[in-house]
Amino acid sequence: MKIVVTGSSGQVGSYLVEHFSKDHDVTGLDNRQCPYPDAAKFTKAVDIAKERDLSRFLKNADWVIHCAAQVSVERAMKDPLFDAENNVIGTVNLLWNSFRHEARNFLHVSSAAVYGDPIRVPLGEDHPTNPLSPYGISKLCGEKYVMAFATAYGLSVSVVRPFNIYSGRADPKSPYSGVVTKFISRAAEGKPLLIEGDGKQTRDFVHISDVVKLMSLIVKKPNMSLGRIFNCGTGKGSTILELAELVQSLSKKKVEIKHIAPRQGDIKQSRADISAARDLLGYAPGTELREGIGELMR
């Protein structure tokens, strides 16, 4: 199969390029230099939000997997125009090129941020979408465009909503890194693990291998996945305090856990309902949190 992966220099896209290139003809697209050698050799320098003609990449592609995005909630709050240009205009341009150049299937990587503050947990795909930030709004807008292209132009589409992804490729130096990366980085330096509030907030932490697993199942089973939205998580919730205690127990250095002021507007409970992916695709997450964290701390 011919597979095009956007955002191939990023956390998710780079792993997908490496995975699919073992058996398929893969091209990665990104406007940043790829730091991962095995993905870099398949990556072309392209800004999908600005380059109007992508025919040389997308012509007759079997799958376009759209990972490219501005992923920082904080940056979206400070610069919503930049966020919209990347997450909305980039998505629309890619969809339009996919249709024009006869790409067969389009897989859009969205975010659990589209849900906003949950009114019930676990969150199924039918949960109301009320995003709390420009980032969440732009990701939901991208989803709406994807589904509109399916209706208006007959493009075959699927959407994945990942929850809290963690991997060895999240940048610990970035102020926008997830809590897993921040805790592990601070533990390696012997610094206290800082918990905002009481630490009873729950999150569904999903290892990158399980994210790749779900997307691979979608590609393998298009008849079961097209036109559908799938949550990507573990179906299990872990508190931030439990995460801190796990990192503390696995750390080679003695680290403290400290509570600081709660973050304003922080979501208290978040956990994915993964029954749709399980029942339709046979998805079963295989990496437990202790195993995944231990792997990152070796």
User: Which residues have a catalytic role annotated?
Assistant: 135
| CA atoms of 178 and 93, how far apart (whole Å) | 29
CA dihedral over 87, 65, 26, 156, signed as positive or negative: negative
Q: How far, rounded to the nearest angstrom, does the alpha carbon of residue 101 sit from its chain's CA centroid?
A: 26
Residue with tokens 């909503």: 161
Contact 30, 87 (CB under 8 A): no
| CA atoms of 206 and 211, how far apart (whole Å) | 7
Contacts of residue 204, Cβ cutoff 8 Å, sequence gap at least 6: 112, 163, 164, 233, 234, 235, 236, 237, 238, 270, 271, 272
Nearest Cα to Cα of residue 58 among 109, 3, 1, 110: 3
Task: Characterise 197 by phi-psi region: left (phi > 0), alpha (psi -120 to 50), beta (else).
Answer: left
For the beta carbon of residue 94, count every other beta carbon within 10 angstroms. Answer: 27
| CA atoms of 119 and 34, how far apart (whole Å) | 39
Task: Give whole-number Cα distances, 238 to 183, 191, 199, in Å.
Answer: 14, 22, 10
Q: Is the bond leading into 192 cis (omega within 30 degrees of zero)?
A: no
